[in-house]
Amino acid sequence: MDYGSDMLLVDDDIFFTKDGDVEIVSGPACIAQDIDQELKITRGSLPWDPAAGSSLLLMLNDAESDTEDVTAELERVAIADPRVDPTTVKAEKVSAGRYRLEFTPVAAVDPETLDFDLAEGK
């Protein structure tokens, strides 16, 4: 299955090869990068696509956001990606302010894992 390709981002910056070319990410890692980026966009902040993004960043240091809110938002964004098998999506709190999202792309064998540290804003 073709999961797409995109520019590789490292710490949210474009990554270049030693030759100065833009490094490309493809396969399941591309899906993980796309979901990570979608979660970092505040919903409604892109005028050309107001439905893009999530409310995850609004939950940073928000006393009213609880574990269920955060895990539900992580899972919602992953399930919304048509390249993800929705039956494999699971988000959990790892420790104070730290969350993990795990999912398996459609037709893939190995799961992808994303970690988020809301206390650090990452």
In this predicted model, what pLDDT tens digit does every residue of 21-73 receive, in sequence order?
999 999 999 999 999 999 999 999 999 999 899 998 888 766 667 889 999 99
Residue 41 · residue 34 · CB < 8 Å: no
| Residue 54: predicted pLDDT | 94
CA dist., res. 72 & res. 95, Å (int): 17
In this predicted model, what pLDDT tens digit does every residue of 89-116 receive, in sequence order?
999 999 988 899 999 999 999 999 999 9
| Residue 57: predicted pLDDT | 84
Q: CATH: 3.30.2130.10, 3.30.460.10, 3.20.20.70, 3.10.450.40. Which one for 5-117?
A: 3.10.450.40
| Residue 63: predicted pLDDT | 63
pLDDT band of 122, cuts 50, 70, 90: low
Query: Cα angle at 65 between 113 and 84, to 5 degrees?
Result: 30
| Residue 3: predicted pLDDT | 94
